[in-house]
A and B are shown apart, each in its own frame.
Chain A
Amino acid sequence: MTSCDAVRELLVLHAEGALDAAEGRRVAEHLAACADCRAEADRIGIVRGWLADSNLFEPVQDLTWELLPGKIAARARLPVETKPRWSVLRMPRWASGMAVVLILASGLIWTLRRPAPLPPAIPSAAAAPGNEAFLSKVRTAHARRAADLYLTACRGLLIDLVSSEKKCEGDLYDVSLEVARARQLLQQKRLLDSDLRVSEIERAKGLCDDLEQFLVNVSASQECESRDAVESMERYIEKEQLLLRINLLQSGVS
């Protein structure tokens, strides 16, 4: 005779149909004979029924929801650097109303208090052709430096990833630090995107974009990963020649 405690440990899985045939039969036989355990099974059934309620955590089916696929697809089509950092969905209605009122009011004030027209502006020093060329060089140098730092950080992550060790239970590989670093690098990449628009470092931009794809996958990993998962990442690094490309590019970027 199976004890009530032992059966109650199996009731959730019994309801899920996740027990093997012999265990399932044992639980069913016990339930047929034990009213207390049947009542417990019923209570578990109630909770499972509530969890299966399709209205639980259901989104509001409004126009925003309806338009969402098109909106996300449109954002995905944009170059990364022009994607909004925060969603307009978050702006409260009062704030958008207030913004419209402020724009209208400032326009009105500007019209009423507009000063006499100024004499033609003197061309600014920054617009002088020599200065523009200098600024362009500074921008390029800055972009190279930023890309170089980013690629160095990525290389470190890739190397650590391929040399991760089994430190987790069940022979799993501990990649927790790499996952956290991948998430940081993804944020860093967003900041880097505006610098990468410089045409002189187009190759670096391509590589950073490829690395970003890989980092998304790493960031979606668990803190402890199976051998297969780690090997799959290694294969990807090798297939895309990520380490080799970083090394080759850095000799040109630096």
Chain B
Amino acid sequence: MRRVQSGDMDAFEEIIRRFRTKVFRVIRSHVRDPEDAMEVLQDTFLKVYTARRSWDGRFSFSGWLYRIAINASIDRYRRSDRLKTTSLEGSLESHLEHSSTTPPASEPLVGVADGERRRLLERAVRRLPERQREVVSLRYFGEMSLEEIAAVLSCPLGTVKSNLHKAVMNLKNLLLRGEGVLGYD
């Protein structure tokens, strides 16, 4: 990053190459449309370049980068995706409420192919409440430690842990309703 700060464009391209997949996955967990996500990805790296001199090492570079990416994603999500779907958080809650009263036979992930399972899981992640989604995306797609996530989100480590717990439990309840799913009797 020091080389980028001094205007080295080769170093900038190298940074994009190194981080683009992880950053894209973090963005996609917030932004539904892949083309929108590509735009947010480009905007994120352009913002990094614009603000390169103001990065003071207070965060790790990746933490700073993810923070810019997440804020850009949430902006985009609030502008577009939220308009397209009625409150996603509400829909998750109603889905969970509904799932507790429906029999496990309607389980969406029983015997589905990998691609279809991924699609359902991606939808479920996007249905998580915002803070839970941020924690899950940074942990699993940004591959950050819980301590790093706490620094990026400026919140106590305990908040990160409780949101991670809630997120995984929500996904489990949404995707693995009841016993007997995937051979667990």
Contact = CB atoms under 8 A, between A and B. Distances in A.
Interface of A: 9, 12-13, 16, 18, 39, 42-44, 46-48, 50-53, 55-60, 64-65, 68-73, 75-77, 80, 83, 86-87, 89-90, 170, 172, 183, 212-214, 216-217, 219-222, 224-226, 228-229, 232, 236
Interface in B39-59: 39, 41-42, 45-47, 49-56, 58
Given A57-B122, A89-B39, A90-B35, A216 B168 contact: no
Given A89-B39, A212-B50, A72 B161 contact: no
Given A59-B25, A224-B154, 17 more contacts: A13-B161, A13-B164, A13-B165, A47-B172, A50-B121, A53-B118, A53-B121, A55-B114, A57-B28, A59-B24, A59-B28, A59-B34, A69-B17, A73-B9, A76-B45, A221-B67, A225-B154
Nearest to A239: B56
Interface of B: 9, 12-14, 16-17, 20-21, 24-25, 28-29, 34-35, 38-39, 41-42, 45-47, 49-56, 58, 64, 67-68, 71, 75, 114, 117-118, 121-122, 125, 136, 140-141, 146, 153-156, 161, 164-165, 168-169, 171-172, 175-176, 179, 181-182, 184
A129 B165 CA distance: 72
A39 B179 contact: yes
A12 B165 contact: yes
A216 B25 contact: no
Contact of B42 (A39, A58, A75): A75
B12 to A, nearest CB: 5
- Shortest 3 CB-CB contacts between residues of A and residues of B: A216-B51, A57-B28, A69-B16
A87 B146 contact: no
A77 B24 CA distance: 22
B39 A46 contact: no
B113 to A, nearest CB: 12
Contact of B29 (A57, A65, A219): A57
Contact of A87 (B38, B164, B171): B38
Contacts of A221: 67, 154
Contacts of B58: 228-229, 232
Nearest to B12: A73
